[in-house]
Amino acid sequence: MTNRIAFQGEPGAYSHQACHVARPEMEAQPCRTFEDVIEAVRTGEADLAMLPVENSTYGRVADIHHLLPHSGLHIVDEAFVRVHINLLATHGAKLADIAHAMSHTVLLGQCRDFLSAHGIHRVTGADTAGSARHVAEAGDPTLAALAGDLAAEIYGLDILARHIEDHDKNTTRFLLMAREPDRARRGELGMMTTFIFQVRNIPAALYKAMGGFATNGVNMTKLESYMVDGSFTATQFYADIEGHPEDEHVARALEELDYFTSRLEILGVYPADRKRH
Nearest CA-CA partner of 199 in 230, 250, 239: 239
Residue 174 designated active-site: yes
Residue 34 designated active-site: no
How far apart CA 179 and CA 191 sit, in angstroms, is 19
Contact indicator for 8, 15 with CB cutoff of 8 Å: yes
List 7, 80, 114, 174, catalytic entry:
174
List 57, 128, 172, 261, catalytic entry:
172
Order of all β-strands in the sheet with 86-89: 121-124, 100-103, 143-147, 86-89, 158-161
3-state secondary structure 62-93: CCHHHHHHHCCCEEEEEEEEECCCEEEECCCC
Contact indicator for 143, 92 with CB cutoff of 8 Å: no
Active site positions, annotated: 172, 174
